[in-house]
Structure 1
Amino acid sequence: MSKPSCYDSVERFVNYLERSGLRKRLELNDEDIADTLWLALQMGVEKTLSQGEQIQAQEQTIHENPIIQDFKDVEPPISIYPSPSDSLPEESKKEENIEGLPFQSPAAPALPNKLQISKALRPLMRKVPSYHRRILDVEATVNRIVDALIVEQDIWLSITKPQPERWLNLELVIEENRSSFIWQETINELEEILQNYGIFRTVRSWNLSNVHQNNLQLVSRKKGKHKNQRQYSYRELYHSNGRGLILLISDCVSTIWQEKTIYEWLQKWSNQSPTAIMQLLPERLWLSSELGLGYKVKLSAFNPGVPNSKLICGEDLDVEQALILPIVTLEPESLKQWAKVVTGYGRIQTAAIVLDIEFVKEQVNKTVISQSSESSPEAIVDRFLATASPTAQRLAGLMAAVPVSLPVVHLIQKTMLPKSTPVNVAEVFLSGMVERKKNKQVNEYEFVEGVRKLLNQAMRLAETEKVLDVVSEYIADKMGLSFKSFKALLLKLTDLSQEKKENLLPFAYVAAEVLRNLGGKYAEFAEKFETNHFQKILDNQQIFKLFAGEYICAVKWGREAGIWREGTENLSLSPQGEVQFPDFSRDLRKEGSKTAKMYIAKQSQQFKA
């Protein structure tokens, strides 16, 4: 019998993909299948030895190399490069206490549709002749050699041609603002796609921030803790050869968009190169951002790589100074339409926003930024419930039962809201209900005073108790404990080691506050816990790390026989437990330090930062 041909093998492989549903699920076309088969042929097949062949090979090796030392006596190879674990300092080897949760919690992939996104950007992968690099033109060189042989010339000269290379150079501008930490993983994964999938010739990443009013800062983006401090002009993004593409990633809600400078930069960029905004928020929330100052249109192009001013709009723009900005989202269909417009597909249209520059500048001058502290907690919560999605509302209610941190939010999303997205997290953090903790350099947040209580009372008791149990069980599991409920974890808190107490202290403090907000039997349990267990933990100096900051509070003066002073005084508490009273002399500060510490240890829940 003859062996099956290669054609039959390929046909069976394609039929298997059809039957198993892989071709439809992975959206594989004929070209993708051909590339897969080619790659498989290049990789080859690794030969696997049977057990008998492995024994025979080992015996042959021992016979050929009789002088072999025992494995325990063999020294490890010497390397001039330290291993990753050895190169870390002792502090970094320990697991870090991340914003109120002693362990990092697992997060779902920020971009689950990476393959679809990369396919959507394929129109941008066209190649053009290089200006500088050249390669051998084999066909033309062979023809010249043949002609030289015919006329009996002995000198053969090669012919070169421009090397094909990717068409566009991407300038990826990433806005840094107070909500950047929400999108960090999403932006990192998107940046990885744009840099590593061979879509662009070069990719340069930039950070755009607002340090001072009307003073935008553009710096080169570098991964890691060490940030580049050198500032660049907006002209650095210009490409004189017409092969540049500028993509600004933002949610358009920060104070950057309440200044004239950002619109001036966008105007100059869009007059030089194709410029677009990647809006991280869905379209239903665009009106609540600064994009609400413009109106939506559809754009197309018949020539590739034209600047925004030369894009074709489907309607007449009755604006003298119009800023036209294509708006794309992380949805593959949106990216696909935009990529085809950049490539000049003609009738394909992409969504865009048209801004009247004069009108925008007038609105910027009239803008009064309202602070969340000026509104009552009831007004803040009512506004959130009236505008947020149902998923975001439930997420906020669950977050109100635990410390406010991104690892905790990831844990809630994984266990209780698996269909939630970073957009829902952004709705909560940008709602005005959450504020950054005072005197904190890292991203630590807390609900605005009074908001947590309102959310606790609005949620069902069963859900609040469930999220406390979920977080408690996760923490106990990571610590090697077997607690299944928050009550069991709190009651056994004093029996744990000092290090575990310190890790659990923020969670225990918030849990006690939530139980007091729920009232009834929960408030009774909180009071019992604080009286019999919490006070034992507060005697340790580590408690001051939790309460470090500025306070307005009552202070007990005059040693043990002191009297209560009427009114309130300013107090500053350091992470080491040092108390300072800026309004009093040094002698009074020294005398009041000990009694103030005692008061904080006993009445810590009454202090408000």
Structure 2
Amino acid sequence: METPKQQRRSTIGQFAQQLKRSGLELNAADLADLLWLAQFIESESEIYSEEISEESLTSSSTQTNSIDDIINHTDISISEPTFNLYSNEESSSIPETTESFEPSQTDQKVLPFPVPSAPAIRTRLDLARALRPLMRKVPSRILVDVDEEATVTQLAETRICVPVVRPTPERWLDLDLVVESSKTTVLWKRAIAELQHLMEYQGAFRTVRTWRLQAEEQTVQLFPRWNERLENRLTQRPRSIRELVDPSGRRLILYVSDCTSALWRQGIIYETLWQWSQTQPVALMQMLPERLWSRTALSNGYIVRLGSPVAGLPNARLDVEGLPELDEWDEWDEPEEVSDGRLLTLPIITLDPNSFRRWARVLAGAGECRTPGRGFELAFVREMADEPVSTPVRTAKQRVELFRATASRTARQLAGLMAAIPASLPVIDLLRDEFLPDAQQDHVAEVLLSGLLRRCDSDESEVCQYEFFDGVRDLLIDGVPIAKTTAILDRLSEIIAQKAGRTINCFEALLTVLEGSEYALGESALPFASVGLDVLRRLGGDYQELAERYGRRELSSVGETETQTVDFLLEEREYEVAKVVNFPPLQTFEYEPAIITNILERFEFETATISRENEEWVIHRRRSSAWGYTESLNDEIGLEMVFIPGGTFVMGAPEDEPESRENERPQHNVTLSEFLMGRYPVTQAQWRIVASYPQIERELEPDPSQFKGDNRPVESVSWYDATEFCKRLSAHTGREYQLPSEAQWEYACRAGTQTAFHFGETITTDLANYRGTSIYNESPQGEYREQTTEVGSFPANDFGLHDIHGNVCEWCEDDWHENYEGAPNDGRAWLLDAIENTYTTKIRRGGSWCSLLRYCRSAYRIINYPGIDFNNFGFRVVCVPPKT
């Protein structure tokens, strides 16, 4: 029986023979290239259908008739199309022309009213040039090239023919383009689509991915592909926001928004942006110009200037200028008011090339260059989100006066022109190109968000349709010359008629055609006709008389006939039928799916040492980093694991170490393989999630701790509870988690040191949480906090582990032994034989918040029964990589 691999070879061989019989002699490389390229080639039928579409559109647009023929011809024999003044809900972000089709004598068809295809971004070339600082290349971490010259040199010198390789140069950054999905996204669809196209083809980024981010019941949901079709969105599953996290500094997140949605008003988005900004560069692409930022959620942040001396720094490490000096808190302030000192710093860019250029230079580490941004205090924005917002009730006159006092000149002109038309985006775009070419998309947004209009479509609708508040339209029309208003109506009427295959150059002619024939208006065309008549009435004189002649009643009755028609009809289509001749039958193959596992990421942290200088203990702090990964427990909470390299160390305390004990000796060498260890003791939030996983052996109390706080270490847990936690976590993740052995714990704690503490010969309460009134080796007394502190509150050791001295005593896997006589030297847990292990005791390490300082030493060990749980008992986990 053939194996799957043999079957694949057979099929590919048959395919090669088929090509050979056709006169194509291809080698293996050519055949592989051919199969790869085939997936990107369009079929002839697709190309043919596109050509037919273009030809039919061209022929349709050349049909002309005189106005007199239209007005006098009372029996129009062509199909009776309706006019959709609003873009189709499933249309793409860049409008495309639609196929024309043969008219029907009995049925009506909807003829779309297309949005003009003028570019939304008119400075694309300048934007591409502005991104040049990001086009640097860096050595690949995966791909390599053969260094021919070095290989030849090595061969000549050593007579050893081994290729010398070097990393392949590749683009520095990957890009995640995250588009905020809101009611105003439709305003920016074309601009975003063109921005995406620019980013993909400009060449600055190695890969470009797009995402759609939206709010659902006060939570952030992330979906791949921002412009996914509506029917496909229904089956999409949300992704974790951590999927975009890349601490290597080589992935850029560009968040596209106008900062006016509920995500900003309710304070939902800030936490997500803060999480991303801790590990990688994040920038906000603000679609509105800077003059309008004060009307958005950006008004809740400090105006700052951001810089970076190093390329690719995460936002959390940018140089920030402009933050106010924080005064000392008054002694009467509540502690809760200052509990969260997190600051979100965001560079803000617009579609202006100068804005792009400044930001790109800062991201590339151009020293003194600065880019504008905002700094948000997360506690403050949460406070603002909780405050009720009161919306003042204004009259039409007040709305218009406020708009004219604050809006730009172009926006005021655009609002006056929009008063003559139904406020739908396709018609507004047409209006801009025909009458106000200087108006940009931000001017449209300025009008739509000004308080002059309100949404009049359903909340579920993806298409924005607006109407003016009562009385506003009349006031705006009063400020526009009559000639301009009638010109707008006439031009739009002409375009509508052209789509019907007729020539009309005025609104009156259009109304005559509608009245003098059985020409049916679609329901979506009624806003245009109704608004047009309202405008004519407002103009007075002959225009008012004309409006009365074609009243709402007649148009309404025409509209009613439309509701009985069928908008979507079956049509005859010609097509080709292809048949595969003499091609081998399809076969099934067995395969093994690839599983993408966690990728190591870089954690940055502060570490410290303490030394005696001039009879005083002096602390020296510095920044460092370590590799690790985050085990996702749910969409919000993860378990950070730090990579501990293998090595050999001396375990135990020397006899001259102050206040050491005999059970910490004899000292002995231990060699360990690499492993991963929890960056912090397990927190209460992490415990609560894992406690909800299916039970393995024993029940776990969800909230056992005495000192409450999600980010405090879980305490009041026994050794049995800790091992149950590890088993549940292992079953959930498929990785083997366990308590550390004594050797693993001490090796990780020392991090290459041999002093009493990894910080040095002593510590202070600035470095750890312990009974601060106790002293060791002439250390100064400090604060006794009398409770646990949040994990990560103090500097880490050189491996990146926090709180390894103090806070909570940590359970180990080993059974208790009186000393190290006969202890294993390979780092495994030292367990009693099964016969002896009927009544055993376990070991805790590290000291706690209530421990004397001498009990927090690296070598200190203490005995405890596995079933006891006190409010200073905690643990952290380890994970050993599988053998390969």
Give TM-score scaled by structure 1 length.
0.69
Alignment partners' CA distance in 2, 1:111 and 1:467: 25
Secondary structure of 1:231's counterpart equals: coil
Q: Spell out, residue by residue over 1:527-586, the C-alpha distance to the aligned partner (whole angstroms, 9 max, x if none).
A: 11128954662562438999xxxxxxxxxxxxxxxxxxxxxxxxxxxxxxxxxxxxxxxx
Shift in Å, 1:140:
0.8
2:422 matches 1:403: yes
Alignment partners' CA distance in 2, 1:390 and 1:301: 37
Work out which of the residue numbers 221, 224, 229 in structure 2 matches 1:220: 224
2:408 is matched with which residue? 389
CA pair 420-241 structure 1, distance change in 2 beyond 3 A: same
Of stretches 338-347 and 290-299 in structure 1, the one that deviates more from structure 2 is 290-299
Say whether the 8 Å CA contact 2:315–2:346 is kept in structure 1: yes
Q: How does 1:341-420 map to 2 (within 5 A)?
A: 341-368=362-389, 370=391, 374-420=393-439
Say whether the 8 Å CA contact 1:102–1:503 is kept in structure 2: no
2:473 matches 1:452: yes
Say whether the 8 Å CA contact 1:107–1:410 is kept in structure 2: no
Secondary structure of 1:492's counterpart equals: helix
1:441 is matched with which residue? 461
Say whether the 8 Å CA contact 2:83–2:522 is kept in structure 1: no
Q: How does 1:277-292 map to 2 (within 5 A)?
A: 277-292=284-299
Shift in Å, 1:449:
3.3
What amino acid is aligned across from residue 127 of structure 2 in structure 1? I
Work out which of the residue numbers 450, 463, 488 in structure 1 matches 2:509: 488
2:429 matches 1:422: no
2:132 matches 1:122: yes
CA pair 180-535 structure 1, distance change in 2 beyond 3 A: closer
Work out which of the residue numbers 86, 92, 113 in structure 2 matches 1:99: 86
Shift in Å, 1:289:
0.8
CA pair 276-532 structure 1, distance change in 2 beyond 3 A: closer
2:240 is matched with which residue? 233
CA pair 541-348 structure 1, distance change in 2 beyond 3 A: closer
Q: How does 1:94-173 map to 2 (within 5 A)?
A: 97-99=84-86, 102-147=112-157, 153=159, 156-173=161-178
CA pair 531-409 structure 1, distance change in 2 beyond 3 A: closer
Alignment partners' CA distance in 1, 2:271 and 2:560: 57
Shift in Å, 1:476:
2.3
Q: Spell out, residue by residue over 1:365-417, the C-alpha distance to the aligned partner (whole angstroms, 9 max, x if none).
A: 1141639xx54333333332222111111111111111222221122111110
Say whether the 8 Å CA contact 1:107–1:411 is kept in structure 2: no
Shift in Å, 1:87:
12
Secondary structure of 2:544's counterpart equals: helix
1:43 is matched with which residue? none
What amino acid is aligned across from residue 262 of structure 2 in structure 1? T
Alignment partners' CA distance in 2, 1:531 and 1:367: 42
CA pair 530-237 structure 1, distance change in 2 beyond 3 A: same
Say whether the 8 Å CA contact 2:120–2:194 is kept in structure 1: yes
CA pair 507-314 structure 1, distance change in 2 beyond 3 A: closer
Secondary structure of 2:432's counterpart equals: helix
Secondary structure of 1:201's counterpart equals: strand
Of stretches 113-122 and 498-507 in structure 1, the one that deviates more from structure 2 is 498-507
Shift in Å, 1:357:
2.2
CA pair 431-163 structure 1, distance change in 2 beyond 3 A: same
CA pair 543-445 structure 1, distance change in 2 beyond 3 A: farther
Say whether the 8 Å CA contact 2:302–2:322 is kept in structure 1: no
What amino acid is aligned across from residue 429 of structure 1 in structure 2? L
CA pair 360-533 structure 1, distance change in 2 beyond 3 A: closer
Work out which of the residue numbers 178, 187, 190 in structure 1 matches 2:192: 187
Alignment partners' CA distance in 1, 2:249 and 2:371: 21
CA pair 236-224 structure 1, distance change in 2 beyond 3 A: closer
Shift in Å, 1:521:
3.3
Of stretches 228-237 and 447-456 in structure 1, the one that deviates more from structure 2 is 447-456
Work out which of the residue numbers 204, 209, 215 in structure 2 matches 1:204: 209
Gaps spanning 5+ residues in structure 2: where? Answer: 1-42, 54-59, 61-80, 88-110, 327-340, 568-884
Q: Spell out, residue by residue over 1:403-453, the C-alpha distance to the aligned partner (whole angstroms, 9 max, x if none).
A: 222221122111110111001111111123223324473413322333323
Say whether the 8 Å CA contact 2:179–2:226 is kept in structure 1: no
Secondary structure of 2:139's counterpart equals: strand
What amino acid is aligned across from residue 124 of structure 2 in structure 1? K
1:596 is matched with which residue? none
Secondary structure of 1:297's counterpart equals: strand
Gaps spanning 5+ residues in structure 1: where? Answer: 1-77, 547-609
Say whether the 8 Å CA contact 2:521–2:559 is kept in structure 1: no
Alignment partners' CA distance in 1, 2:426 and 2:260: 24
Q: How does 1:18-37 map to 2 (within 5 A)?
A: none
Work out which of the residue numbers 151, 175, 200 in structure 1 matches 2:180: 175
Work out which of the residue numbers 247, 258, 261 in structure 2 matches 1:254: 261
Shift in Å, 1:278:
1.2
2:351 is matched with which residue? 330
What amino acid is aligned across from residue 274 of structure 1 in structure 2? P
Alignment partners' CA distance in 1, 2:378 and 2:275: 12
What amino acid is aligned across from residue 175 of structure 2 in structure 1? L
Secondary structure of 2:551's counterpart equals: helix
What amino acid is aligned across from residue 437 of structure 1 in structure 2? C
Alignment partners' CA distance in 2, 1:438 and 1:428: 18
Work out which of the residue numbers 479, 487, 512 in structure 1 matches 2:500: 479
Alignment partners' CA distance in 2, 1:326 and 1:191: 19
Say whether the 8 Å CA contact 2:513–2:519 is kept in structure 1: no
CA pair 116-405 structure 1, distance change in 2 beyond 3 A: same
Percent identity of paired positions between Structure 1 and Structure 2? 39
CA pair 316-510 structure 1, distance change in 2 beyond 3 A: closer
Q: Spell out, residue by residue over 1:173-209, the C-alpha distance to the aligned partner (whole angstroms, 9 max, x if none).
A: 1111111111110000001111122211121211111
Say whether the 8 Å CA contact 2:85–2:524 is kept in structure 1: no
What amino acid is aligned across from residue 280 of structure 1 in structure 2? M
Shift in Å, 1:496:
4.4
Say whether the 8 Å CA contact 2:85–2:525 is kept in structure 1: no
Secondary structure of 2:467's counterpart equals: strand
Alignment partners' CA distance in 2, 1:406 and 1:433: 16
Secondary structure of 1:441's counterpart equals: coil
2:662 is matched with which residue? none
What amino acid is aligned across from residue 313 of structure 1 in structure 2? V
Shift in Å, 1:275:
1.3
Alignment partners' CA distance in 2, 1:346 and 1:86: 53
Secondary structure of 1:540's counterpart equals: helix
Alignment partners' CA distance in 2, 1:326 and 1:249: 12
Shift in Å, 1:256:
1.0
Shift in Å, 1:85:
5.8
For the pair shown, the structure with the greater C-alpha radius of gyration is: 2
Say whether the 8 Å CA contact 1:102–1:504 is kept in structure 2: no
Shift in Å, 1:336:
1.0
What amino acid is aligned across from residue 419 of structure 1 in structure 2? D
Q: Spell out, residue by residue over 1:78-115, the C-alpha distance to the aligned partner (whole angstroms, 9 max, x if none).
A: 96768546999xxxx99982428952142421111111
What amino acid is aligned across from residue 169 of structure 1 in structure 2? D
Secondary structure of 2:389's counterpart equals: coil
Alignment partners' CA distance in 2, 1:218 and 1:501: 37
Alignment partners' CA distance in 1, 2:495 and 2:184: 26
Alignment partners' CA distance in 2, 1:404 and 1:398: 10
CA RMSD of the aligned region, Å?
A: 3.1
2:230 matches 1:243: no
What amino acid is aligned across from residue 415 of structure 2 in structure 1? A
Secondary structure of 1:260's counterpart equals: coil
Of stretches 435-444 and 277-286 in structure 1, the one that deviates more from structure 2 is 435-444
Secondary structure of 1:119's counterpart equals: helix
Alignment partners' CA distance in 2, 1:483 and 1:532: 23
1:303 is matched with which residue? 310
CA pair 123-234 structure 1, distance change in 2 beyond 3 A: same
